[in-house]
Amino acid sequence: MPKSNSDPTMSNRLIVEGSAVGNTLVCPEGLSFWGGVDPQSGVIIDAHHPNHGECISGKCLLMPTSRGSCSGSGVLLELALKGLAPAAILFHEPEQVLTLGAIVCDRIFGIKIPIIYLKKEDYLEVAHAPTMTLAKGQIIIEHKVIDLDAVNIDQLNLTAQDKSFLSGDHGAAAKSAMETICLMAAIENTDDLVNVQKGHIDGCILAHEANLIFAEKMVMLGAKVNILTTINAISVDREHWRGSGLPKDFGEKASRLADAYVQMGVKPTFTCAPYLLEDTPQLGEKIGWSESNAVIYANTVIGAQTQKHPDYLDLFIAITGRAPATGVYSKAGRKAKISLQINVPSQWSADDDVLWPLIGWIAGKHAPDQIPLLLGLEHLRPTTDDLKALCAAFGTTSGSPMLHIAGTTPEAQDQCDETISIQVISHQDLLDAWNELNRGLSKIDLVAIGSPHSSIEEIRRLSALMDGKKCQRGTQFIITTGRQSLEIAKKEGLVAVLEASGVRIMPDLCWCSIIEPIFPTEAKGLMTNSGKYAHYAHGLSGRHSRLGSLSECVDAAITGSAPLDPPTWLTKG
């Protein structure tokens, strides 16, 4: 993968052109726009972020890079369509999600949101300035002018098929798709594109109108996918939403959004855990996935290769079968840059699976923008569901598309490098993570399982743990899962058994897409086994959550309450 001379860490670059004037707003750490920014107001709603409560609209927004969900690009488009976007966004580390969102705003909708990459020393100078101006390719702050280089796409090595896409031979949608992919390749400092065999679409949740506007515009332009492409969880149970109490307008728009992607040739899988489907990617296979937990799992656990592609770029990749040859598509790009020694308390036992989201969440805190190697877990033998939970939680606090787990993941044995630094994740770090993710009430009105979607193994465990007991009166227990797992659960009689205990199982949608009244309006106390949902719950639902093991979640459903104190293995070490 030859590199161009425009390394974003070595030069100041104007990635998306435009002009801007505004006050600076500096975020000391990355921000996920999805689940972290209210698309209706521009206010930061991530309760765990240091800038919580501040408004980004009209500001010159500075952050090292983004983090978290691939869906941030869609949130940026929604803000732009409502006139609530930042005046400009500045980074000092490579970034893809918001960059792609700004490119779509510009190229498809004609709305300019300048994106700027700065050398760290210049970034820090702008961060200390109360205001800045961007004009004619220059940043102007008090006592200084910073020149910005334009992006050069002329160095790309394109195939005859690539050029055919660019010439419009395959229609307007394919032309726009390839133009965007080429621009992202130049931005990401590569001269080449790679072939990908599978795609996964993430921008299919009706979190805002922008996703529907984009999808239907692409249908109008004649977009069709050209590789096997699955689709993420959506905002409704596609076949049964009319009896759910959802507003008719919302249900119809959510269905239109899902149908638009199906019309473009996407398989109606409607799951945020595509790695649980039958056609799983293979070790070393290059794919083009979005959905942060799926990307991290595919790279980490399976050893497939995919960048954490932003929403909308996932569709462009599925249309062309091509992606920028950068990052984790190469062996060098998959190298660990930091080692994290996990000191698991000696009293921990394998039946307390809350350990895994805690590890993922705190590992992301220690490696917000680089691939870590996790040490100290070699003897623990995590299950598929343990790894699913770890990867999903890691994606809430890190922008990295993968991690390595010594003794578990395929490439971990190749990561031994005495030159990289080692940080220790201590017993106290795990306890602090537990406290941070357990801000909710102890009286539990709702137990939420399935973020990411529950596997058939998880459903079997839940049935065994319920063991015929009933949910506490006033406490609802809802599991979200994919269609494939649900069909297996029906055939095994698990659905009937769980429903007899008062448990509801829903396909197609997941907790990151559920709104009221499917999320019970009267519910105040929330319990989950998902570190991902515990992190995002307040921003999405207005309720803080409690986080516990699968067994503790079942106990909470039966008793109506969750323990206020951490597990004894966390308090005693």
Active site residues: 69
> Taking Cα atoms as reference points, which of 346, 340, 382, 380 lies closest to residue 361?
340
Helix 355-366 crosses helix 427-436 at what angle (to 10 degrees)? 100
Query: How far is Cα of residue 61 from the mean position of the Cα atoms in its chain?
Result: 21
The Cα–Cα gap between 369 and 399 comes to 5
> Taking Cα atoms as reference points, which of 539, 459, 466, 525 lies closest to residue 495?
459
> Distance from first CA to last CA of the chain, Å, rounded?
47
> Taking Cα atoms as reference points, which of 434, 421, 422, 486 lies closest to residue 460?
486
The backbone torsions φ and ψ at residue 110, rounded to the nearest 5 degrees and listed phi first, read: 70, 25
> At 265, which amino acid appears?
G
Q: What is the three-state SS of 505-543?
A: EEECECCCCCCCCCCCCCCCCEEECCHHHHHHHHHHHCC
Place of tokens 């409560």: 53
The Cα–Cα gap between 218 and 264 comes to 9
Residues in the chain, total: 573
The Cα–Cα gap between 504 and 568 comes to 31
SS3 state of residue 423:
strand
317 is written with which tokens?
């990749």
Neighbours of 364 (CB within 10 A): 26
Contact between residue 89 and residue 100 where contact means Cβ atoms under 8 Å apart: no
Neighbours of 73 (CB within 10 A): 34
431 is written with which tokens?
């306890």
What single-letter DSSP state applies at residue 334? G
CA distances in angstroms from 70 to 17, 104, 480, listed in the order given: 22, 14, 20
Neighbours of 416 (CB within 10 A): 12
What single-letter DSSP state applies at residue 247? -
Contacts of 155 (CB under 8 A, 6+ apart): 4, 186, 191
Contacts of 357 (CB under 8 A, 6+ apart): 389, 390, 392, 393, 437, 529, 530, 531, 532, 534, 547
Contact between residue 321 and residue 227 where contact means Cβ atoms under 8 Å apart: yes
What single-letter DSSP state applies at residue 337? S
The backbone torsions φ and ψ at residue 411, rounded to the nearest 5 degrees and listed phi first, read: -100, 5
Contact between residue 318 and residue 178 where contact means Cβ atoms under 8 Å apart: no
